[in-house]
Structure 1
Amino acid sequence: MVMMNRTSILFLGLLLCLSQGCQSGKDKEEKLAENKETRPPNIIFILADDLGYGDLSCYGQQRFESPNIDRLAAQGMLFTNHYAGTSVCSPSRASLMTGQHTGHVAIRDNRSLDPSAYGFREIEGQFPLADSILTLPEMMRERGYVTGAFGKWGLGGPDTEGAPNQQGFDEFYGYVCQSLAHNYYPDHLWHNQEKIPMPGNEEGAFGDYAPELMQRETLAFIEKNKGQPFFLFVPSPLPHAELIVPEHEMAPFEGHMSPGTPFNGVDSGPAFRQGGLASQDKPHLAFAAMVKVLDDQVGEIMAKVKELGIENNTLIIFTSDNGPHREGGGDPEYFDSNGGFKGIKRDLYEGGIRVPLIMSWPGRIAANTTNAHPSAFWDFMPSFAALAGAPVRDNWDGISMLPTMMGQENKQKKHPYLYWEYHGEAGKQAARMGDWKGVRTGIREGNRKIEIYNLKSDPGETTNLALEHPEILWKMDSIFSIAHTPSVEFKLGYLDE
């Protein structure tokens, strides 16, 4: 790329002016203003992995700071009632990509591919999204956006219809399989359909740290596409276990926090670099450092957008796919990662599904604002459709958040309820209706009882009010039946009989 200083740019501009008969500066300014008004905004969607509601200092984290993400929040709007698609990776991301909650979405659990069905000798990738499903990147591409994804996918392996390039992304770089994304020093990544070996990352050796490689490609995508509308999806694997980071990133936290209980993982053998979690002697330090790396990368994205002069026409969104984890030495209790809410990853209590959400769009979204509008992953599809001028689909469960984003809350439609399923363990359901929350666990064990909580008076979900409020119990039971559509592939329990 040829770099020009300010003097060179002015000189070239003068030559152009002379060659065109010195068109008036006023006409040029009017055309430039017209272009900015008619061009749809760039969208950068940053998705953290297993980052809890309380894992950012702008959401109350006390053990460490997240200055760049805090700055993003100060530039825009911080949401306090936003929810992931569900409490684990694949179905939560499927909800984001399709505009459907987990009672309707095609993928409802973390399930690896059956290699025999595709002729594979080895399993890589999860149950694939079908070609027939309209995805968020497909919608954006139809509206003239160039699309890119850099990070962890988890919605279909290579050579399946769920692969990123088959689901609307012009360019992909990263992990196709979320199980292999457990390893931050993998033996390979994928660039579109090409498997890229990682030299030096073989068994017993560390080479390139994958988040750094994916960040490099992310910044290059922004640079390359700065002159046209783009949709950039950045599903970072950070700070999902394994808990590992370059040593120098941990140094600032030495002596400032307990190192934590050492975790003994898989450091050799067949599982090494194939989904097994590496050992970590100082898991607290490693976790804090991983969030720092994530925060640094958000800062680099913000800086790149500003450097290229596209800041005022770029919407940056930051959120997380579910609540915090305990795997690999994770310690959500020490960090208060769920922000004081009940539950963690795999729970449908608030700590498992309520996540940070920050939106920044200078000049459009009011700076330094906080919003309590209840929203969820399935709201992004209609929100982006409104921004890009795409038609709304009848099978979407989401409601556009654009009025809230633009400060027009009197025009904001609201959900009659929000609904979640989790198919792991023995099956779970949850719904939020206003301030009321209903949770059912152990579905495949025959449990039909529903717990009822009032989130306004009891945000920690400590007191089950089912006996005191039979009318709310009845409404939740109705929602659980109505919102769940049986799936051939994913059986929740007696609701599918």
Structure 2
Amino acid sequence: MKFINSLLFTSLIFAGLLACQSKSTSQERQTPPSEPPPNIIFILADDLGYGDISCYGQQKFKTPHIDRLAAQGMLFTDHYAGTAVCSPSRATLMTGQHTGHVAIRDNRSLDSSPYGFREREGQFPLADSIQTMPEMLQKAGYATGAFGKWGLGGPDTEGEPNNQGFDEFYGYVCQSLAHNYYPDHLWDNQEKIMLHENDNGKFGAYSPELMHQEALKFIEANQKEPFFLFLPTPLPHAELLAPAEEMAVFEGKLAEGEPYKGTDEGPGFRKGRLGSQEKPHAAFAAMVKVLDDQVGEIMKTVDSLGIGNNTLIIFTSDNGPHIEGGGDPEFFDSNGPLKGIKRDLYEGGIRVPLIMRWPGRIQANSTNDHPSAFWDFKATFTALAGIEAPENGDGISMLPTMLGKEEQQLKHPHLYWEYHGETGKQAVRMGKWKGVRKDIRKGNETIELYDLSKDLGETTDVADQHPKIVQKLDSILRAEHTTNPTFKLGYLDE
């Protein structure tokens, strides 16, 4: 895997933005915020790496609509997901708590079968006692809708979307079933919608398109009131599968990887097991193209309705790139200059793209290196809505940075992550320093130390040279982890 230094990478980002659109005018930068609270559209890609879109350096294919979103807004270089896998990362987004405090800390499901799919749909549920970000926005007068992959509680649990602040939901409640793009059903609130177009292995109804169309209907239906639209798309998570017409754009134009042999029949078929893919590179590029086209259509919709100037559009990803189902982050250089992929707490597993567009408020063609993380969004959105900051949160509002008032921006003394899969991991970023601890369940207490200002790719462990820094990071790693009886992390919970 190739790496480029951070200075070169930053210059590439600036070049990409300038190629998309000329610099904003001073009038755009100085336009005051409008009186009504803004609409918020939050687009969450799934397993999209830091380098998987062209304004962040992708060279194998282009993402023109996402690039245009960046050209019309602000691109962040130092933004982090909640952790390195789906459910806990999304839990930090919804609750405003990092993974040392949040109630859900891994991808644990309620039930499973020998075939790898869930007999009982859904992952470990968020509790009613948790006040989520959409619940706070709901109380502030926002219409709220979620369209896509949930993964924070299945049907008939306290964690299902309608119990966690969403007026409307359409999509997958179970993230395991979201592995399959031609499913036998989706959920419309509490109603199970059977997709007979996909019966008997047919490819009739592509779920990302179904969910996208419902999201567009939500925008049109709520255009006259403030709304929060959450779009947790499953794209481009494995399985690698896109409609034939989207595949055709890339077939023969990319060097192909090894065909992936998955599950194409039997009890696990379209029940969470990944299907086969003869052309995984073309499929992955096609899936990102579908996502990019959908971002473009969302931008077009809000602008055509005349609500673009009072709509904040955010685009990001839930963790780093995957290798499942034929995924090939090395071929696509999906983590760019970063080390690690999904399930790693190195930068490539948790540092993700973040783009924000809010015309007249957020400066167009701008790039920002403010360190931030998923748990900051709850504080940010409540500030936008003009309501009190959430209690028991770990986040800091990013609104000053967004509005170009960086002298007013509070900053985290450190950012913290933990990952409960495999043998347990922790990570902390404190300024330029990054500490990583692995194999916690094996009793390992050693911390790797990296200087991100000189070594963005985390290639050289300098722990031996800075024992006092290591000691400080060790104290943070121990202090930020709170014991959760359901999700334990080795000696840290003894």
1:200 aligned counterpart, secondary structure: helix
Select 2:218's aligned residue among 216, 221, 225.
221
Question: 1:483 corresponds to which residue?
Answer: 480
Equivalent AA in structure 2 for residue 357 of structure 1:
L
Which segment is superposed worse, 406-415 or 201-210? 201-210
Q: Deviations over 1:283-318 (max 9, x none)?
A: 000000000000000000000000100000000000
Asked if the contact 2:78–2:372 (Cα under 8 Å) also holds between the matched residues in 1, the reply is yes
Q: Does 1:441 align with 2:450?
A: no
1:149 aligned counterpart, secondary structure: strand
1:246, 1:495 → 2: CA distance?
Answer: 47
2:375 aligned counterpart, secondary structure: helix
Q: Deviations over 1:64-97 (max 9, x none)?
A: 0000000000000000000000000000000000
Alpha-carbon distance, 1:114 to partner = 3.8
Alpha-carbon distance, 1:251 to partner = 1.1
2:369, 2:336 → 1: CA distance?
Answer: 16
For residues 133-282 of structure 1, the aligned pairs below 5 Å read 133-282=130-279
1:273, 1:438 → 2: CA distance?
Answer: 40
Q: Does 1:322 align with 2:329?
A: no
2:41 aligned counterpart, secondary structure: strand
For residues 287-326 of structure 1, the aligned pairs below 5 Å read 287-326=284-323
Q: Deviations over 1:431-455 (max 9, x none)?
A: 0000000000000011110000000
Runs (4+) of structure 1 exceeding 3 A deviation are none
For residues 363-402 of structure 1, the aligned pairs below 5 Å read 363-402=360-399
Question: 1:359 corresponds to which residue?
Answer: 356
2:427, 2:119 → 1: CA distance?
Answer: 35
Asked if the contact 1:202–1:273 (Cα under 8 Å) also holds between the matched residues in 2, the reply is no
2:74, 2:286 → 1: CA distance?
Answer: 26
Q: Does 1:79 align with 2:76?
A: yes
- Taking a change above 3 Å as real, the CA distance of residues 115 and 461 of structure 1, as seen in their structure-2 partners, is closer
1:479, 1:114 → 2: CA distance?
Answer: 34
Asked if the contact 1:51–1:239 (Cα under 8 Å) also holds between the matched residues in 2, the reply is yes
Which segment is superposed worse, 278-287 or 255-264? 255-264
1:214, 1:143 → 2: CA distance?
Answer: 26
1:59, 1:473 → 2: CA distance?
Answer: 31
Equivalent AA in structure 1 for residue 132 of structure 2:
T
1:202, 1:82 → 2: CA distance?
Answer: 41
1:52 aligned counterpart, secondary structure: coil
1:148, 1:293 → 2: CA distance?
Answer: 21
Q: Does 1:431 align with 2:465?
A: no
2:493, 2:388 → 1: CA distance?
Answer: 32
2:171, 2:148 → 1: CA distance?
Answer: 5
Alpha-carbon distance, 1:38 to partner = 2.4
Select 1:457's aligned residue among 450, 454, 457.
454
Q: Does 1:413 align with 2:410?
A: yes
Equivalent AA in structure 1 for residue 454 of structure 2:
S
1:364, 1:172 → 2: CA distance?
Answer: 30
Alpha-carbon distance, 1:255 to partner = 2.4
Question: 2:61 corresponds to which residue?
Answer: 64
Count of aligned positions: 458
Q: Does 1:100 align with 2:97?
A: yes
Select 2:45's aligned residue among 45, 48, 62.
48
1:472, 1:186 → 2: CA distance?
Answer: 50
1:200, 1:210 → 2: CA distance?
Answer: 11
1:429 aligned counterpart, secondary structure: strand
Alpha-carbon distance, 1:476 to partner = 0.7
Alpha-carbon distance, 1:202 to partner = 2.6
Select 1:111's aligned residue among 108, 113, 135.
108
Asked if the contact 1:203–1:273 (Cα under 8 Å) also holds between the matched residues in 2, the reply is no
- Taking a change above 3 Å as real, the CA distance of residues 115 and 58 of structure 1, as seen in their structure-2 partners, is closer
Question: 2:471 corresponds to which residue?
Answer: 474
2:313 aligned counterpart, secondary structure: strand
Asked if the contact 2:378–2:390 (Cα under 8 Å) also holds between the matched residues in 1, the reply is no
Alpha-carbon distance, 1:256 to partner = 1.8
Asked if the contact 1:203–1:272 (Cα under 8 Å) also holds between the matched residues in 2, the reply is no
Asked if the contact 1:182–1:241 (Cα under 8 Å) also holds between the matched residues in 2, the reply is yes
Q: Deviations over 1:426-483 (max 9, x none)?
A: 0000000000000000000111100000000000001111110001100110000110
Based on CA coordinates, which of the two structures has the bigger radius of gyration?
A: 1
2:296 aligned counterpart, secondary structure: helix
Flag structure 2 segments of 5+ consecutive residues without an equivalent.
1-32
Equivalent AA in structure 2 for residue 375 of structure 1:
S
Asked if the contact 2:34–2:310 (Cα under 8 Å) also holds between the matched residues in 1, the reply is no
Asked if the contact 1:49–1:240 (Cα under 8 Å) also holds between the matched residues in 2, the reply is yes
1:206, 1:293 → 2: CA distance?
Answer: 16
Alpha-carbon distance, 1:123 to partner = 1.5
Flag structure 1 segments of 5+ consecutive residues without an equivalent.
1-35
Asked if the contact 1:417–1:434 (Cα under 8 Å) also holds between the matched residues in 2, the reply is yes
Which segment is superposed worse, 36-45 or 165-174? 36-45
Asked if the contact 1:203–1:269 (Cα under 8 Å) also holds between the matched residues in 2, the reply is no
Asked if the contact 1:429–1:480 (Cα under 8 Å) also holds between the matched residues in 2, the reply is yes
Equivalent AA in structure 2 for residue 250 of structure 1:
M
1:254, 1:283 → 2: CA distance?
Answer: 10
1:79, 1:126 → 2: CA distance?
Answer: 31
Asked if the contact 1:45–1:233 (Cα under 8 Å) also holds between the matched residues in 2, the reply is yes
Asked if the contact 1:182–1:242 (Cα under 8 Å) also holds between the matched residues in 2, the reply is yes
Q: Does 1:129 align with 2:126?
A: yes
Alpha-carbon distance, 1:115 to partner = 8.1
1:355, 1:438 → 2: CA distance?
Answer: 18
Question: 2:16 corresponds to which residue?
Answer: none
2:378, 2:366 → 1: CA distance?
Answer: 23
Asked if the contact 1:203–1:268 (Cα under 8 Å) also holds between the matched residues in 2, the reply is no
